[in-house]
Amino acid sequence: MRKIVSLISGIVLILLAYYISNEIASSKKTSKVVMNELSKAVYVEKVKNISNPISIKANGKLTSSNRIEIYSEVQGIFKLGGKKFKPGQSYTKGETMIDIDGNEFFASVKATKSELLNLITSVLPDLKLDYKNNFEVWKDYVKEFDINQPITNLPKPLTEKEKFFITGRGIYSLYYKVKNLEERILKYKIEAPFDGSLINTSITQGTLVKFGQKLGEYIDPSMFELEVSVPSQYSNFLKIGKIINYNSVFNKNHTGEIIRINNSIDKSTQTISVFVEFKSKDLKEGMYCEVDIPMKSEDNSYSISRSLLIDNDKIFYVKDDLTLDLITVQTIFFDKKNVIVKGIPDGINILSKQISGAYPGMQVKITN
């Protein structure tokens, strides 16, 4: 009887043990399924450190490299005819932009030339008697003298005595007075100093132009300067001749170069002024520009989105057991969207997109 009871008890214990082991296994499977269902889906990227170029963004407005303000040095009526003196009007180098009526002044110049001619003629008899070796030269000068043409150089005296004689008669002083008046004649016509166009004007044809009056502004529309401010800590990386690229609002790339660097630091902003020159007829005066100025390259570094940075020096990465953890990094350079960091080992998976509520030890699953 005891043997039968012992046998039955043993069978019951075996069945009970089998049942308990099945329940435990089932519980583990359920727990694993629940854990997988609760794991957060994340996007990651595998780190490969490289040499990252560092550049800073700077902006400003374009101004023409060749810009002149036009002023009148004489007085008279602005003649009608030719191209209209209006903003946007283009001229080629040497083309007449402004023609001022100077007939009254021109007549006074001819009168002074006639006075000079009369003076030279009056001394010819003395030259023939006392300086006959040079008489024929002066005589030919008088014959070829034309008051309607620019005055030619006076004959050179052969002796010092002849020079004193010519000086004493006032010929040299009157000659240089004529030369001065002829130079003033040139100011009645203003020619374009280079190919360009007017950007503003203050007079119209037919009006009276006064001495010293500003007439307009003229620019070369193919050469421009861009003045930008750069933090002074990057001054050692700036060099004359460094190439700068600019993508205009017309989606056209323009290449310029640094032509000047101001050695003075602005006390209020702690920046220095850098001047970049662009040569392009597609650019416009006053155009707003934002350029990237290359500084240097940082070796063995990695570029990430600024949104991934935690407390300014940490980022999340995914461990082998698919849990999150933080790694401390060294920040090298910030721009508007990204930050260049160092200290991330090659080959580890870091989050490529930030997730809400992330914490060390959080269970995740990689979806990409």
Residues pairing with 274 in the sheet:
228, 261
The per-residue pLDDT string of the chain (368 residues; one tens digit each, 9 = 90 and over) reads 555 545 555 565 565 655 565 555 544 444 443 444 467 889 999 999 999 998 888 889 999 999 999 999 999 999 876 788 999 999 999 999 999 998 989 999 999 999 999 999 999 998 888 888 889 999 999 999 999 999 999 999 999 999 999 999 999 999 999 999 999 999 999 999 999 999 999 988 888 999 999 999 999 999 999 999 998 888 888 899 999 988 776 667 888 999 999 999 989 989 999 999 999 888 889 888 888 888 888 999 999 999 999 998 999 999 998 999 999 999 998 888 899 999 999 999 999 998 888 899 999 998 87
> Which residue segments constitute the domains of the chain, with CATH numbers given?
40-52+298-366 (2.40.420.20), 57-64+221-296 (2.40.30.170), 72-219 (no CATH)
Cβ burial, residue 143 (10 Å; 0-12/13-18/19+): exposed
Q: Residue 180: CB partners within 8 Å, gap ≥ 6? A: none
pTM confidence score? 0.67
Name 135's Cβ contacts closer than 8 Å, sequence gap at least 6: 124, 127, 128
CA-to-CA separations, 365 to 88, 305, 326, 356, in angstroms, rounded? 64, 21, 17, 15
